[in-house]
A and B are shown apart, each in its own frame.
Chain A
Amino acid sequence: FYVRASYQEGRLDTRMSCLQNAMDEYNKAKNEFNAKATEEEMRLLRFQRRLEEEKGERMVGCSLQDTLHCLLIVGLHKQAEQLYKDFRVPDKRYWWLKLNALAEKEDWEEMEKF
């Protein structure tokens, strides 16, 4: 099972290829949901890697929710916004998350803004 293998891979590029394999298998099995989920995971990993290179924040392997949380905490609102749109996160959950993160940071100014 490629998904399992992907988690045993420490290196990101080999992990990606494992996931690619998993996706192909899912497509073959006509499991659309899983194929799509795998694809999204790959997109997320790529995004996280880019972020790590650019901003030096370690977040590879986190779930989408945690990634968003991280971004909001360190104040990368633009990136968070982009991620939120890309992955079609339901509004309700995103507001919850944003409020929580901002409250945790005690960033009341940002909170006033929306």
Chain B
Amino acid sequence: MAAHLSYGRVNLNILREAARKELREFLDKCAGSKAIVWDEYLTGPFGLIAQYSLLKEHEVEKMFTLKPGRLPAADVKNIIFFVRPKLELMDIIADNVASEDKLRTPRDFHVLFVPRRSLLCEQRLKEKGVLGSLINVDEYILDLIPYDGDLLSMESESAFRECYLENDQTSLYHTAKGLMTLQALYGTIPQIFGKGECARHVANMMLRMKREFAGCQTQILPVFDTLLLLDRNVDLLTPLATQLTYEGLIDEIYSINNGYVKLPPEKFAQKKQGEGEKDLPTEPKKLQLNSAEELYAEIRDKNFNAVGAALSKKAKIISAAFEERHNAKTVGEIKQFVSQLPHMQAARTSLANHTSVAELIKDITTSDAFFDNLTVEQEFMTGVDTDKANTYIEDCIARKDPLIKILRLVCMQSVCNNGLKQKVLDFYKREILQTYGFQHILTLNNLEKAGLLKLQTATRNNYPTIRKTLKLWMEDANEQVASHQFYVLQKAEYVPVCRPTSTGQQGENRITLVFFLGGVTYAEIAALRFLSQMEDGGTEYVIATTKLINGTSFIKSLMERLEVPP
């Protein structure tokens, strides 16, 4: 299952193995049968580290999700809570433990904090009077989780919010720690570049940690040549725009979680021919997406318009390969053909799957609503009428379209116009409050604080100038070749940031680790992969981030949820 991690230039499987080892050690510390109580948010990321089978080997017999009240009955010796260090979760644990203590046979309770223990939480447990009944309070350091051969994520959803809104640097600390762990395994990264305030913080923290560990330097030949730290708020525009790569669109429409996507089942049901008319599956189809699947690796970063062509080409290749059998004459040839069969069949299934997915997406991308939305986005980016209130946005508000969509567009206009005029900004805000309710005033405040919405202060808008000088926009970019217009934007941004200096390595490609503080989109990943593949680039990129995001989840993380009292 983890094969896809070791494909890339950097074998990220080492990181995964290290994480697994630590988990095993912890599990073995608690002797006897165990039940794990999960903080629900953690199950996804953990699935990428260890499957149930591994846990089972270590006598984990039951698994529950963390809920207030009593624990479900389980005949086990140990109960282990896997939780994030959040105060509200501590209350639930206390509740669980207390109700359990009154009842059955005594058992051992353990708490495992992911990714780090917190004094505040332990204090809370103490106040609740349960710290004494806990045998073990430990931490399981899981910062960077390998997602793919060239992708690491911390999956901390609120990192951007914490850094830019709440001025909370905890996630930066985790980042620095995670990078230290990475360096312990892959050698110290000789060069660090950064852009933005948070990037500087992380770099400073890393330096400090390095000094603390000065004694025990590892002598591993560094795998990464350069580390590039980037603040999300350096480029707020890209995450707001709709992603147009295949993987990006899957994420925009169905949202990819921990490498899996859930799709409506209808399209997949008809595919099973020869099995008779089975009743339609009602469960959503769950599909794992990573570069272990040859076909997916090929098309994921392509512009969606190019995916159809790629799929039909692949279909031809596969059917041609099946035709081969007619030409097989000798026993040897037949043997060879048969040995290839499993591979070919897998390829055929994967083709069928992705054709269905592509059909699903096409239904949406060809709809008028999608097209209108895209047109407006492109108008903003090319600087058409960004000064005035946009009629499309007005209409959307009147129709009461999802608020996130509105916010995304308004923010985009603001970013493209380097802020909105007072009149326009107030108009939008009024419209939103009147339509969606006064409670959203806090969300609007947050967006302003994060710089996504702002008042135009300078008399002139400098975005068009930047756009022209850096050639961010390619008017007639050949979509079939260019995966996304934004790869240009990415590149333009990096040029001032990474000044390549000659290193001792000759002949071989340099490897740069790019860390996005506050999230990265699939389209941006695609752009970097595209750069990796360019022959004259000479650099390969490994991407790390605090969270994989898209415009929707990005805005959502900044929203303030207020329930209207009954």
Contacts and interface: CB of A to CB of B under 8 A. Distances in A.
A98 to B, nearest CB: 11
B445 interface: yes
A53 B436 CA distance: 24
Interface residues of B, number: 25
A81 B400 CA distance: 20
A93 B431 contact: yes
5 closest A-B pairs by CB: A63-B437, A41-B438, A61-B564, A96-B398, A65-B435
Interface string B425-441: 01001110111111101
A4 interface: yes
A39 B114 CA distance: 44
B565 interface: yes
B565 A7 contact: yes
Nearest to A8: B565
Interface string B385-404: 00000000011011110000
A7 B435 contact: no
Interface string B410-438: 00000000000000001001110111111
A87 B430 CA distance: 10
B429 A87 contact: no
A73 interface: no
B431 A90 contact: yes
B429 A33 contact: yes
A7 B437 contact: no
A62 B564 CA distance: 8
Nearest to B563: A7
B429 A44 contact: no
A67 to B, nearest CB: 10
Contacts of A37: 429-430, 433, 438, 441
Contact of A4 (B394, B437, B438, B442): B442
Contacts of A8: 565
B398 A93 contact: yes
Contacts of B400: 65
Contact of A63 (B429, B434, B445, B563): B434
20 contacts: A4-B442, A4-B562, A7-B562, A7-B565, A9-B565, A10-B565, A10-B566, A34-B445, A37-B438, A41-B438, A61-B564, A63-B435, A65-B436, A87-B434, A90-B394, A92-B395, A93-B394, A93-B397, A96-B395, A96-B398
Contacts of A93: 394, 397-398, 431, 435
Contact of A92 (B394, B439, B564): B394
Given A7-B439, A34-B441, A64-B435, 14 more contacts: A15-B565, A37-B438, A41-B438, A44-B438, A63-B433, A63-B438, A64-B433, A65-B434, A65-B436, A90-B394, A93-B397, A93-B398, A93-B431, A96-B395
A89 B430 CA distance: 9
A76 interface: no
A20 B478 CA distance: 57
Contacts of B562: 3-4, 7
Interface string A58-81: 000111111000000000000000
B398 A97 contact: yes
Contacts of B433: 37, 40-41, 63-64
A4 B439 CA distance: 8
Interface in A84-113: 87, 89-90, 92-93, 96-97
Contact of B399 (A15, A41, A96): A96
A40 B434 CA distance: 9
A81 to B, nearest CB: 16
A41 B437 CA distance: 9
Nearest to A88: B430
A90 B432 CA distance: 12
A90 to B, nearest CB: 7
B434 A89 contact: yes
A92 B429 contact: no
B437 A62 contact: yes
